Amino acid sequence: MSNVVIDTNVLITANGDCKQAAPKCVESCEKSLLRIYNEGIVVWIDDRYLILNEYKKHLNFSGQPGIGNFFFKRLHDFQGDENVVKQVSITPIGNSECPESFSEFPDNPELEGFDHSDRKFVAVAIASRVYPDIYNATDSDWYNFQEALERDGLKIIQLCPHLFETC
């Protein structure tokens, strides 16, 4: 069974709600989410609901319109089914009401500039102990810090790599 952690930008892009995403990028996100759904791949989230709460700020509980909303509704509705969604504990450092740092995040000076709002995804991947792939579509931090994250055992799947490649 495969495992994944999905940055919010993938779901938003699959809905066609990301201005910087070309149709090819939207299609890549749609296909990836449908593959995860159809193949029964487990999605990891945190038990503090930081990831689901971020999703719900940008997505629709009705599951419409778009694949991103459909996928979000499925995660929300099946969060108690470990064949669909697994929760893992992550430990905030500092303000536990609005945490941006976690003890599970690598103590790696190369990652000092990594976006604090995305650290929960890394913390979940590491705390899971299965190191699921982390899916990204449009966030340059995942691209810019990919090598450092991979040295810490993570695998970042770039669904829209053409957004970050230069000539």
Q: How many domains does the chain have?
A: 1
Structure tokens at 138: 């449009």
In this prediction the pTM is 0.93
Q: Which of 55, 50, 46, 31 is nearest to 85 (CA)?
A: 46
- With H, G, I as helix, E, B as strand and everything else as coil, classify residue 133: strand
pLDDT given for residue 165 in this prediction: 64
58-101 pLDDT, tens digit each: 999 888 899 999 999 999 999 999 999 999 999 998 766 667 78
| Segment holding 26, helix H or strand E | helix 23-38
Please give the Cα distance from 40 to 108 (Å, whole number). Answer: 33
Q: How far is CA 97 from the centre of its chain?
A: 21
Range of the domain at 75: 3-163
**What SS3 state is found at 113?**
coil
- Greatest pairwise CA separation for the chain in angstroms: 46
